[in-house]
Structure 1
Amino acid sequence: MQHRKIGFIGAGNMTRSIISGLISHGYPANLIMASNPSEGKLESLKQSYGIQITQDNNQVTEHADVMVLAVKPQLMEQVCFKLASHVDLSNKLFISIAAGIPTSRLQQMLSGQSSPESVQMIRTMPNTPSALGKGMTGLFADDSIDLEDKTFAGDLMAQVGEIAWVEKESMIDAVIAAAGSSPAYFFLFLEAMQKEAENLGFDKNTSRLLVQQSMLGAAEMVCHNPNLELSELRTQVTSKGGTTAKAIESFQQQNLETVVANAMQAAVNRAEEMAKQF
């Protein structure tokens, strides 16, 4: 991975996860600086990873060649406008991990006296398992971003899991539906299974162990068999006329596939609505 000076605005969980991944893979701590209003979060990052810290966003921006925007979407405009009015941003690469804000809007927020097109921006959408290094991140860059910058952004987000580039920015909304939001889908499914296991007579802890270990094992089987279709893996577990077949038949009779499709489309629709709010 290229070594550049990296600045993080925001010191939340995703920032911590990325920094942890960088440091564990040998990235020089002195090249990383983070800013945040909360001194406590900054001190924790400094003690854990030896990076530089500041409560001044302008200072971290002046330090860095690459800026990671890791603030909440509702605070992004305020943060970016202040940066644009105090620091020359024309020679910096920006990487956004904020949901719902299009690249063009981020460029506009950061443009200041410059044209929005002069702000180099890559948009990413990671998910919460990134905190364990098991994340899935979608990335988008327009044609103005060169290969070297794209490679750096991809390597950066690969510190917390797998990555996938999309050719159109609108596909970031699809990434949200398929990966960004999907851990919650699995949690909901597990929650329902745990509840029914308790109804079947197991205590709470045993019920959770049964369903979480089964989910973990199933996920590992998927990862260790990349050449097998998911439908084939399901078929291998489903003996004709057996208990699993009856359970699958019940799901299919209740149109599980349609329920999932509708839920994912609802996530896409909401992402599109959010983009209009900023």
Structure 2
Amino acid sequence: MASALSAGLIGKRCAAEDILVIDPNEQVRENWQQQGTHTAEMPQAQLAQYRVWVLAVKPQHMKKVLQQCQPFIQPDTLIISVAAGITATAIAERLGFEDQPHQRVIRCMPNTPALIGCGMTGLLALDAVDEDDKAVAEYLFKTVGEYVWVENDEAIDAVTALSGSGPAYVFLFLESLIQAGQAQGLSLDQAKKLAFATVKGATELAALSPLPLAQLRENVTSEGGTTAAALAVFKDQNFSTIVQQAMDAAKQRAAELAQHYS
């Protein structure tokens, strides 16, 4: 995700030399240096010069990273976290001084299509984050797709269940379409081309059409026809219920991870 954000930023939103990348992996640092960024093996005094910190680390490493970064935080430092399972409040507390949390924290939940500039990101800001800070986050995530603001960590967990994990649901559906197409006599290439184009076209039509999804579905469905026969199977197998149960499981797991890592 850090690579996706940098690709959107460098040369478009800021110069490479305006970015400091901190990573313990030497090869990773060398790759960033080739792009023209500054690098460091671990947080040090120069970090204090940067007003916006993007924390793109695995949840299990977050406590250590926050501990290393805390000595260099400034009152106007804006924290943008893309680490799953870590609440904004937990980050604020670990970066604070003398039991005073550092409240300028924005928690984000992007998804993997950000890698091609088609991402969707949920954003949550603590109360002390002002409109200018929010604009910085919007400016950043516009480079990799779209965004939506939510009110609390529970809503971020819902974002995780829908758009964060959502690409995997779509990939599973595509896999199933392709396998079924092959079972019915299509070649792998034919089934893939048909499945990819169908899902992409249907999604774009749904996004651009003023009609509700139910009407678009009905427009494809003739009484007694092929689509009606297929949809009847989905209904008999409780497709909508399965989707709801899957998203409930994802949301519950997101909340559990937040408790574990916070």
Normalization by structure 2: what TM-score?
A: 0.93
Q: Which residue number in structure 2 is paired with residue 186 of structure 1?
A: 170
Whether 1:134 aligns to 2:118 is yes
Whether 1:117 aligns to 2:117 is no
Quick one: which amino acid aligns to residue 110 of structure 1? L
Q: Cα deviation per residue 1:232-258 (whole Å; 9 max; x = unaligned)?
A: 221222222211111111111111010
Q: Which residue number in structure 1 is paired with residue 87 of structure 2?
A: 102
Structure-2 separation of matches of 1:21 and 1:69? 16
Quick one: which amino acid aligns to residue 217 of structure 1? G
Structure-2 separation of matches of 1:190 and 1:143? 41
Structure-1 separation of matches of 2:211 and 2:32? 41
**Contact kept? 1:16, 1:45, Cα under 8 Å:** no
Q: Cα deviation per residue 1:110-145 (whole Å; 9 max; x = unaligned)?
A: 22x433423421101000100010000000112211
Q: CA deviation at 1:199?
A: 1.1
Structure-1 separation of matches of 2:12 and 2:109? 22
Q: Which residue number in structure 2 is paired with residue 275 of structure 1?
A: 258
Q: CA deviation at 1:150?
A: 1.0
What pairs with 1:75-224 in structure 2 (closer than 5 Å)? 75-84=61-70, 86-111=71-96, 113-224=97-208
Quick one: which amino acid aligns to residue 17 of structure 1? A
Q: Which residue number in structure 2 is paired with residue 22 of structure 1?
A: 9
Q: Cα deviation per residue 1:170-192 (whole Å; 9 max; x = unaligned)?
A: 10001001100000001111111
Structure-1 separation of matches of 2:190 and 2:45? 51
1:68 alignment partner, SS class: strand
Quick one: which amino acid aligns to residue 56 of structure 1? M
| Residue 157 to residue 205, structure 1, CA distance change in 2 (3 Å) | same
Quick one: which amino acid aligns to residue 218 of structure 1? A
| Residue 62 to residue 239, structure 1, CA distance change in 2 (3 Å) | same
Structure-1 separation of matches of 2:86 and 2:213? 33
Whether 1:253 aligns to 2:236 is yes
Q: CA deviation at 1:53?
A: 2.1
Shift >4 Å, 4+ stretches: none
Within the candidate set 240, 243, 249, 2:226 is matched to: 243
Q: Percent identity?
A: 39
Structure-2 separation of matches of 1:39 and 1:228? 52
| Residue 60 to residue 42, structure 1, CA distance change in 2 (3 Å) | farther
Q: How many residues align?
A: 261
Structure-2 separation of matches of 1:68 and 1:211? 37
| Residue 31 to residue 24, structure 1, CA distance change in 2 (3 Å) | closer
Structure-1 separation of matches of 2:214 and 2:37? 46
Structure 1: 5+ residue stretches without partners:
1-13
Structure-2 separation of matches of 1:43 and 1:179? 32
Normalization by structure 1: what TM-score?
A: 0.88
| Residue 42 to residue 236, structure 1, CA distance change in 2 (3 Å) | farther
Quick one: which amino acid aligns to residue 202 of structure 2? A
